[in-house]
Amino acid sequence: MASEIIEKLKWRYACKKFNPSKKLTEGQIQILKDAFNLTATSYGLQPLKMLVISNPEIKEQLVPLSMDQPQVKDASHVLVLCRENGISPDYIKSHFNRVEDIRNTPREILDPFQEYLLDSFAGKEAEEVSLWMSKQAYLALGNLLTVCALEGIDACPMEGFEPAKYDTLLGLKEMGLTSVLVLPVGYRADDDLFSELKKVRRGVAEVVIEMN
Ligand SMILES: Cc1cc2nc3c(=O)[nH]c(=O)nc-3n(C[C@H](O)[C@H](O)[C@H](O)COP(=O)(O)O)c2cc1C
């Protein structure tokens, strides 16, 4: 099993050319939605949302906002990982209400932690909170890339886009969101030369330090 996973991670690559006529099924998209929702986040606050775009006109309009990278047009779906525009006290309280509902955790246990988070977030600058939220989006990206690999779904993680322009086009501000990362998903084109290239990595011996 372990080596199967490594083989799948070697199979995946940042797809440069998608086959525009091969579409993912609803079932495959559902797996990616579930994986996104199951991503671990700091304190479990999940300050993220994910847009799933399949509309061809919208995908076409994303190309000039994505450094002319054609993946956003040709992929079956474009996932846009977004962060919330802020963490309000109500947002934190609704998280703890959810824990109470789902786990029946007594308020005596939840309240001190809730107070701690309310205090902690009240003392932070908006920029610090935004950076913290963006880090959570990167975790979701990593999770999705692995799940895509395991499911045989091709993907291209992308920072090469203009978030402010995405936000305007997609009406994200009105939803209280800011785009952080883009992930076109679908199937590689048969002639994507990048799929044949060897992986370039520093190597386990160089990136792993063992302390025995
Ligand atoms: C956060 C992040 C942003 C990236 N942005 C882009 C991008 O905008 N366009 C692109 O073609 N590849 C992008 N990549 C792909 C990387 O260049 C690629 O993952 C890396 O070179 C390793 O190659 P591999 O993923 O094919 O193994 C990005 C990767 C990550 C993790």
Question: Rounded to an integer, what distance in angstroms lies between the CA atom of residue 99 and that of residue 117?
Answer: 14
With 70 as the cut, is the pLDDT of residue 1 above it? Answer: no
Domain segments of the chain as ranges: 2-207
Q: What atom in ligand 1 is closest to the CA of residue 66? A: 8
The mean pLDDT value for 132-136 works out to 98
- Identify which of 80, 69, 73, 37 has the alpha carbon closest to the alpha carbon of residue 186: 73
Q: What is the pLDDT of residues 78-113, one digit of tens each?
A: 999 999 999 999 999 999 999 999 999 999 999 999
Ligand 1 centroid – CA 105 distance (Å): 41
Ligand 1 centroid – CA 73 distance (Å): 17
Q: What is the pLDDT of residues 58-74, one digit of tens each?
A: 999 999 999 999 999 99
Q: Which two tokens stand for residue 140?
A: 């979701």
pLDDT score, position 2: 64
With 70 as the cut, is the pLDDT of residue 56 above it? Answer: yes
Provide the whole-model pTM. Answer: 0.97
Q: Which two tokens stand for residue 131?
A: 């950076």
To which H or E segment does residue 160 belong?
none
To which H or E segment does residue 180 belong?
strand 177-186
The mean pLDDT value for 106-123 works out to 98
Q: What is the pLDDT of residues 26-37, one digit of tens each?
A: 999 999 999 999
- Identify which of 143, 137, 151, 150 has the alpha carbon closest to the alpha carbon of residue 182: 137
Question: Rounded to an integer, what distance in angstroms lies between the CA atom of residue 109 and that of residue 131?
Answer: 29
In the DSSP assignment, the letter for residue 152 is: T
Beta bridge partners of 113: none
With 90 as the cut, is the pLDDT of residue 46 above it? Answer: yes
Q: For strand 77-84 and strand 48-53, is the pairing parallel, antiparallel, or unpaired?
A: antiparallel
pLDDT score, position 50: 99
Q: What are phi and psi of 157, to 5 degrees?
A: -65, 135
8 Å CB contact between 98 and 46: no
pLDDT score, position 5: 96
pLDDT score, position 11: 98
Kindly list the protein residues whose Cβ atom lies closer than 6 A to any atom of ligand 1.
Answer: 13-14, 16, 69, 156-160, 199
Q: How far is CA 86 from CA 13, 122, 132, in A?
A: 33, 11, 11
Ligand 1 centroid – CA 155 distance (Å): 10
Mean pLDDT taken over the chain: 98
Domain 2-207: CATH architecture, name and number where available: 3-Layer(aba) Sandwich (3.40)
Could you give the count of Cα atoms lying within 13 Å of 152 in the half-sphere of its Cβ?
Answer: 4
Question: Rounded to an integer, what distance in angstroms lies between the CA atom of residue 50 and that of residue 193?
Answer: 30
